[in-house]
A and B are shown apart, each in its own frame.
Chain A
């Protein structure tokens, strides 16, 4: 059959069919959660880059602040205050409830060794800080979005893993179906592919954990218990994923 009439009829039929099949596959809510968690990871990186630059730049003007404020989002809010002349106790207290910090900062602002900034300089730094804070805010909205999506897609799995980690594992596996069907030993090292292949190729030590390391029960385990904690969590995650995929009932 060439591309004459019967061939064209078949082609039109299959074009429609392919479009329908694509639409059906793309309608899977798992894809929304995967896109969101991928974005979340990128925003995390973007926030850290922007925050680092904003803080570094503002520290030319007010270097003393870096020793007092360790929390990046709070630091950025202070950067948004702009010139150190604005660092009065009352202004600082609008951004933090820490009275001791407000007192120290306002004193250090007066005797600061930092360079004076022109208005032009300062407005650049301030807008950079605002951009970074906006990224942070976007992350928190995204985080609640991921949380509610994951609770619908995989309630048991995400209650064991936590929503963000759960979504990351889902993204790595590609689908809830694959998460449910994979061996728990694969779940354990999902995200540690580089180390796994190094192990297979060169006989180096196998990885104990992949993404799963982000879970508090693994992260907080002692050095000698990390592998055990990872194995245990992976087993629980496998059970939960299977329950979600095959039974759709919340038990965890």
Chain B
């Protein structure tokens, strides 16, 4: 039987699920299951770093029904589709990605899901989407961009759009920052970099789902 874990994330026999916002529609290779007349989508941690973070013990999961989320590096929208399930019709996912190839799929997804908004642009230039994001007033920032200055991008966006107490989740790919250094050292130095602007709450390693990746959760102070 499906049981609630975080506010709208469900757990059954070691797998996590979200309630399908568009019943009958599959987004990637996930399984759809039905329990008591409600359809759930399996959240595959091998395909989603946020999913991997949840599996590996992320304590505070700030995305809840009604949340408005700024998602940088949304790619094709695999993770965003689950966030869209979670926030439901009163919330919103504002997805930014620089690749037109990936954004194509994200646009298809946004057409199916009325709480998703696409933006083709560069997360390192927040001013290009600032006017729209200010209308959305997000309370959560999620970032997964595999760029060398990912902490800088994260801080700039957090400062531009988040208020005191709001949450940020940042996926760090150690190999994007330095291909030869020890990943643990990188996670530490990135966390202390983030700590200059936000309060770091947790650093979750994403093994075995992702190699040399970590998820940092932090809160605006």
Contact = CB atoms under 8 A, between A and B. Distances in A.
The SS class assigned to the A binding surface is helix
A10 B136 contact: yes
Interface string B118-136: 1111000000000010011
B115 A3 contact: yes
A10 B91 contact: no
B89 A2 contact: yes
Given A1-B137, A26-B100, A200-B180, A14 B92 contact: no
A15 B117 contact: yes
A19 B120 CA distance: 9
Contact of A15 (B110, B137, B179): B110
Contacts of B68: 1-2
Interface string A223-246: 000000000000000000000000
A14 B66 contact: no
Contacts of B118: 14-15, 18
Contact of B111 (A3, A15, A21, A26): A15
The SS class assigned to the B binding surface is mixed
Interface in A1-45: 1-3, 6-8, 10-11, 14-15, 17-19, 21-22, 25-26
Contact of B110 (A6, A11, A26): A11
B135 A10 contact: yes
The bracket for how many chain A residues form the interface is 20 to 34
Contacts of A197: 179
A120 interface: no
Contacts of A7: 92, 136
Contacts of B137: 1
Nearest to B111: A15
18 contacts: A1-B135, A1-B137, A2-B92, A3-B89, A3-B91, A11-B117, A14-B117, A15-B111, A18-B103, A18-B106, A18-B119, A18-B120, A21-B120, A22-B100, A22-B107, A26-B100, A200-B179, A201-B180
A22 B114 contact: no
Contacts of A2: 66, 68, 89-92, 115
Given A1-B92, A3-B92, A10 B66 contact: no
Interface of B: 66, 68, 89-92, 100, 103-104, 106-107, 110-111, 114-121, 132, 135-137, 179-180
Interface in A185-225: 197, 200-201
A31 to B, nearest CB: 9
Nearest to B90: A2
Nearest to A2: B90
Contact of A25 (B120, B132, B135): B120
Which of B66, B100, B111, B115 is most buried by chain A, counting CB atoms within 10 A of its CB? B100
Nearest to A202: B180
B32 to A, nearest CB: 23
Nearest to A13: B132
A15 B110 CA distance: 8
Nearest to A201: B180
A199 B106 CA distance: 38
Contacts of B117: 10-11, 14-15
A171 to B, nearest CB: 14
B89 to A, nearest CB: 5
Given A22-B107, A200-B180, A14 B115 contact: no
Contacts of B179: 197, 200-201
B89 A1 contact: no
A197 B180 CA distance: 8
B132 A14 contact: yes
A22 B89 CA distance: 26
